[in-house]
Structure 1
């Protein structure tokens, strides 16, 4: 397989390292980056096997292309990739927001992506081959997305160590506002609040405790990246902040009123919510193989994947098998867990497709 990586920083470099370490020995990884020093460092670290001087050169013969740049630069980079990529090349990105880039193209080769992985460090020097191990990697196929190219990308993401999950762009951005973008806002607010307190108090603050360190680990994250994320997902982030402010105001009210039962109930609810979230991450069980008969039409694979993704049913693996007459075909899905497989069966049947489990 030939892979093109446009942007060889932390994420692009880690994709290259993982691909060259875990894929077939014949895998070729070519990198392009406007930062010549970063590109040379990526080659020296073994993240790429070949450097390219342009997007067009990087995409020569590529079967998959990863766009790895700040979200505000992705639409322009995507247009360039679409112009130079082959007709059978899958194109994806790694941006933290998805609505804007999804709306920018209807090309069947493009499937938006976002690996939920990273570190406080940036640049190729912090890239790691195990960065994606066990991480969710969201894929946002549009109705126009090629089923064959989606399957290729799904398999590649899984081979890099991640868990591919289909989700629509709007849901992705609302979800990430809650679990990623708002926590960054809070971290920034907390450190600034602590710094203000330090300057206002006559006595020095005590040594910072582990709770504060944990809550502010991402404070001040790379402004050139995060300013673009805040801007591109401003509406969803602001909505989540408004709801959070209401919840904080309720807690403040209970504290001022000395309402100990309400405070205790609030703490217990948080404990239970955290337990449920952790359990959902650890869900497992036996692997089920579901075979789905579908018409050979554009968007069918995306329709099935998104229906399961919205319901929290993760596809461990998938293959496509067109019928001899090319008028229909089969999607084979592997799903982990009895309940998840049963729910997947129900959802596929509700879409009107025939489904059977392999014995």
Structure 2
């Protein structure tokens, strides 16, 4: 695709805005319009250059589009697909989505659209702790996996066209079936969110009984459960749309927990050691600092002395080098790291540059988890 004359972005939150900026970077002549039920949101996105214009009427916007992106939660996307099915669309239109589950979306696409309408499922595996169009980032998807799903027809030309339109994302495109996608993300992303949330909910009763435990949780426990801070509305939708796979995975977990319980009841030291040893072996074989099913966290831990100006010195170095940080916090207790300052970056490139500059320009030591 040399250029798309007209792209319609349905939903201009973090993902929609970031896709728009990435497309504009590589295809500056492409017109990008937005659709949302919030006029204020659309006007704001246009004002900062995320959109060229916008529509308040979906049928009007869809009829002019060469490519349509559904950048909304899965249950909202399913509703919008029904509306799109009644729109007068171009015969060459490409429709795609960004939902975290794919089987429901692809099933609905097959039911609603004619065989001549190209629908390609999509899932860019990137995110941020921020939300809304103001958080849009043209580099959000850099080196992240971007899953594409096309079932029923080969759609080779259309798939190639969509990838070319998205070349500015600098993402790594992977093609899967809807079932493969949902199975993989169910195990590697959806179930971990359930477990992290369960751990936090279980810890609440402990914190009530032993108030000091809330302070102790500020270290490693808070880090391993950080994904529990994700949007509850989005994760409700994801859980419902991938319910069958999640149920199977929960059954596997229950069986594994009961097996481990048996080890404890029998004081089976060898089995317990094997359990933890195998987990360590597998974990160490997983690539480090690559974007996967759960977006990576690019944290730098800095051992700074407890005196005035230490934090300002660190942030001053980052500012002088033009390195943007997305979060900074002081860690009061952490049993595996001596440093007390945690600085988070949006990507590995910024993290590595920050570590290099702080090491060179200060006397502080840095550790990447």
Aligned pair partner of 2:16 in 12, 15, 23: 12
Q: Equivalent residue for 1:215? A: 224
**Which SS does the other structure have where 1:238 is aligned?**
helix
Alpha-carbon distance in structure 2 between the residues aligned to 1:203 and 1:10: 37
Structure 1 contact 158–164 (Cα < 8 Å) conserved:
no
Alpha-carbon distance in structure 2 between the residues aligned to 1:159 and 1:262: 49
Q: Equivalent residue for 2:37? A: 34
TM-score after normalising by structure 2: 0.70
| 1:203 shift after superposition | 5.5
Alpha-carbon distance in structure 2 between the residues aligned to 1:84 and 1:8: 22
Gap change, CA 1:55 and 1:256, over 3 Å in 2: same
Let me know the Cα RMSD of the aligned residues: 2.2
| 1:269 shift after superposition | 1.4
Moved more, 209-218 or 32-41: 209-218
Alpha-carbon distance in structure 1 between the residues aligned to 2:149 and 2:94: 13
Give structure 2 stretches of 5+ with no counterpart: 292-369
Alpha-carbon distance in structure 1 between the residues aligned to 2:58 and 2:211: 57
Q: Equivalent residue for 2:98? A: 94
Describe the superposition over 1:173-218 as per-residue Cα deviations: whole angstroms up to 9, x where unpaired: 1111111111111111111111111112375544224321222112
Q: Kindly report which structure 2 residues correspond to 1:1-359, keeping only aligned pairs within 5 A, or say none.
A: 1=4, 2-20=6-24, 22-82=25-85, 83-106=87-110, 107=113, 108-144=117-153, 146-201=155-210, 204-278=213-287
Describe the superposition over 1:327-358 as per-residue Cα deviations: whole angstroms up to 9, x where unpaired: xxxxxxxxxxxxxxxxxxxxxxxxxxxxxxxx
| 1:281 shift after superposition | 5.8
Alpha-carbon distance in structure 2 between the residues aligned to 1:157 and 1:213: 35
Alpha-carbon distance in structure 2 between the residues aligned to 1:233 and 1:183: 14
Gap change, CA 1:209 and 1:262, over 3 Å in 2: farther
Alpha-carbon distance in structure 2 between the residues aligned to 1:54 and 1:6: 11
Structure 1 contact 111–145 (Cα < 8 Å) conserved:
no
| 1:220 shift after superposition | 4.4
Moved more, 44-53 or 7-16: 44-53
**Which SS does the other structure have where 1:164 is aligned?**
strand
Structure 1 contact 52–58 (Cα < 8 Å) conserved:
yes
**Which SS does the other structure have where 1:47 is aligned?**
coil
Structure 2 contact 140–169 (Cα < 8 Å) conserved:
no
| 1:72 shift after superposition | 0.8
| 1:233 shift after superposition | 0.9
Alpha-carbon distance in structure 2 between the residues aligned to 1:256 and 1:90: 58
Structure 2 contact 23–167 (Cα < 8 Å) conserved:
no
Alpha-carbon distance in structure 2 between the residues aligned to 1:265 and 1:157: 45
Give structure 1 stretches of 5+ with no counterpart: 283-359
Structure 1 contact 67–74 (Cα < 8 Å) conserved:
yes
Alpha-carbon distance in structure 1 between the residues aligned to 2:12 and 2:154: 26
Structure 1 contact 110–145 (Cα < 8 Å) conserved:
no
**Which SS does the other structure have where 1:142 is aligned?**
coil
Structure 1 contact 63–88 (Cα < 8 Å) conserved:
yes
Describe the superposition over 1:307-331 as per-residue Cα deviations: whole angstroms up to 9, x where unpaired: xxxxxxxxxxxxxxxxxxxxxxxxx
